[in-house]
Amino acid sequence: MAGDEEIRFCHECGTDLVERERLRLISIFLLVTLLMVAGILGYGVERWRRSSLELEAENAELAAEIHRLNTDMEKLNLRVEGLQAESSELRFQLAQATAELEKHRLKRPTINELRAFLEMDYTNEHRYDVESYICVHYARDLKANAAQRGYNLCFITVNYKVGLFGEERGHALNGAYLSDGSFVYIEPQRDKIHETLMDALRDLEDNPNIEIIHFVAIW
């Protein structure tokens, strides 16, 4: 029957009602889809914008840190330059002081230099005086005169026993390391050079019975 059939076309304009409904549903679907896509895109754009702002902030912090580090580096470079200048000045002063010290450094004489010095020195010509000029004065003056000539002599005091009864006595003389590393003893009253302290004492006392108690060398 006509009343029971589905109405497909509009009686007034003849439009296909089923197709029209399909188009309406499709339009709604497309609109919803577009809205979803727009929402997704908007969310993505917002995230990108926030990420971009965060990156800009991080870049600004990094730029500030780099600027600070560059400033510190410049200060350190200036400090290094200053220290290098100070170091150069100190090295120059040290070289000058070393050169000046070398001029006054006492050296070890050769045996010939020592003999020549003793020959020209007049310490041994002093008159021995038990009250005012004894062995310690000879040794003192010879050491001082040697230093003025650039030679390093030491002052030696020795206590010893002599003779059969062991009489204790004391004496002062000089000593020196020679340039070859050997050590000699010098009797300043006679300008004699001895290889051992015992030889020096035996020559002084003219007595073989000598026992050294102790001695001290002062440079």
- Reading the block at residue 5, the tokens are 């059939």
Residue 203 has pLDDT above 70, yes or no: yes
**CA dist., res. 10 & res. 72, Å (int):** 86
**CA dist., res. 186 & res. 142, Å (int):** 10
Q: Is 183 left (phi over 0), alpha (psi -120 to 50) or beta?
A: beta
Rounded to 5 degrees, φ, ψ at 31 are -65, -45
pLDDT at 112: 98
Span 94-110, average pLDDT: 82
| Residue ranges of domains in the chain | 1-105, 111-218
Residue 180 has pLDDT above 70, yes or no: yes
> pLDDT of 124-157, one tens digit each?
999 999 999 999 999 999 999 999 999 999 999 9
Q: Label residue 187 exposed, middle or buried (CB < 10 Å: 0-12, 13-18, 19+).
A: buried
Query: Which one-letter DSSP state was computed for residue 107?
Result: B
Span 90-117, average pLDDT: 87
Query: Which one-letter DSSP state was computed for residue 185?
Result: E
Residue 49 has pLDDT above 90, yes or no: no
- Reading the block at residue 71, the tokens are 């400033």
Token look-up 């895109």 returns 41
Span 194-218, average pLDDT: 95
pLDDT at 4: 46
Confidence label for 93 from pLDDT (cuts 50, 70 and 90): confident
Class of domain 111-218: alpha beta
**CA dist., res. 125 & res. 129, Å (int):** 12
Confidence label for 6 from pLDDT (cuts 50, 70 and 90): low
On average, the pLDDT of the chain sits at 88
Confidence label for 103 from pLDDT (cuts 50, 70 and 90): low
For residues 209 and 15, the model is more confident at 209
pLDDT at 58: 87
Residue 191 has pLDDT above 90, yes or no: yes
**CA dist., res. 170 & res. 137, Å (int):** 14
Secondary structure of residue 121 in the 3-state scheme: coil
